[in-house]
Amino acid sequence: MTEQIKKETRKIGLKDIPVAVVSPLKKAQSGLSALASLAKGMRLTFSYFRRPSKIVTQQYPENRATLKFPPRYRAMLKLIYEDNGYHRCTACGLCDKACPNGSIKVITRKGATTGRVELDRYIWRLDSCVMCNACVQACPFDALEMGHEFENAVYDRRLLVFNLNRYAGPPASVMLKAEESLRPAMTEKRDRYGGPVPLNGAQIPVVKPLTIQEGDL
Ligand code: SF4
Ligand code: SF4
């Protein structure tokens, strides 16, 4: 092909500039090659009219209600709840230690009736979590999982700090051994935004703009 490219000198402006001139044959070959490539792509595109079930492009957000995620897709961290409504977390803190970003804070308390350490608040920060799954793998009680909720954009980043436990108290393994009449006294309700930062609805504090000092930029 190199013999189809001639080197010439042309006057551009007031200077003689060396240029490479492509022969008409080479140009024709390039054009045919581009057309063949286009035809190949269009053949694949039009083939989907015959087999629509093979189309992989998702019509998001129109198909939001029917979106399917691969089982290993990771989004929101969740505490797993048994059918009876009790979680499995023993507040051992291993997930807290395993997190490379400090996105988890397990706050414990001493159970009023059991006298044992139990979960008070399970704080998780979506704003710093990288969905690495290390916390899920570290949990010896299979108390955690990565959920599929993916539309998590908010205007206030304080809303990205969650309280994952619905109640403070012992895990299902302890609750189920207790007498049913005693169980309500063993637990205390916790809110989704009820962590150490007041993030619950009307309690959101006024956001003040950061002051920029000279030298910060
Ligand atoms: S998924 Fe990774 S980054 Fe997110 S909370 Fe768990 S350990 Fe931390
Ligand atoms: S979620 Fe698992 S690892 Fe984390 S504190 Fe609870 S029991 Fe321990």
pLDDT in tens, the chain (217 residues): 556 778 888 888 888 998 888 888 888 999 999 999 999 999 999 999 899 888 888 888 888 888 888 889 999 999 999 999 999 999 999 999 999 999 999 999 999 888 999 999 999 999 899 999 999 999 999 999 999 988 888 887 778 888 999 999 999 999 999 999 999 999 999 988 877 665 555 455 454 555 656 665 5
Q: Whose CA is nearest to atom 8 of ligand 1?
A: 99
Q: Is 90 in the pocket of ligand 2 (CB under 6 A)?
A: yes
Query: Could you tell me which of 194, 188, 120, 199 has the C-alpha nearest to residue 156?
Result: 199
Q: Whose CA is nearest to atom 3 of ligand 1?
A: 129
Tell me the CATH number of domain 77-202, given options 2.40.160.10, 3.30.499.10, 3.40.50.620, 3.30.70.3270. Answer: 3.30.70.3270
Q: Is 138 in the pocket of ligand 1 (CB under 6 A)?
A: no
Query: Could you tell me which of 127, 126, 130 has the C-alpha nearest to residue 164?
Result: 126
Report domain extents, the chain: 2-50, 77-202
Q: Is 160 in the pocket of ligand 1 (CB under 6 A)?
A: no
- Residue spans of beta strands (DSSP E) within the chain: 5-12, 15-22, 77-79, 104-110, 117-125, 144-146, 161-163, 167-168, 188-189
Q: Is 104 in the pocket of ligand 1 (CB under 6 A)?
A: yes
Cα of 200 vs centre of ligand 1, distance in Å, is 23
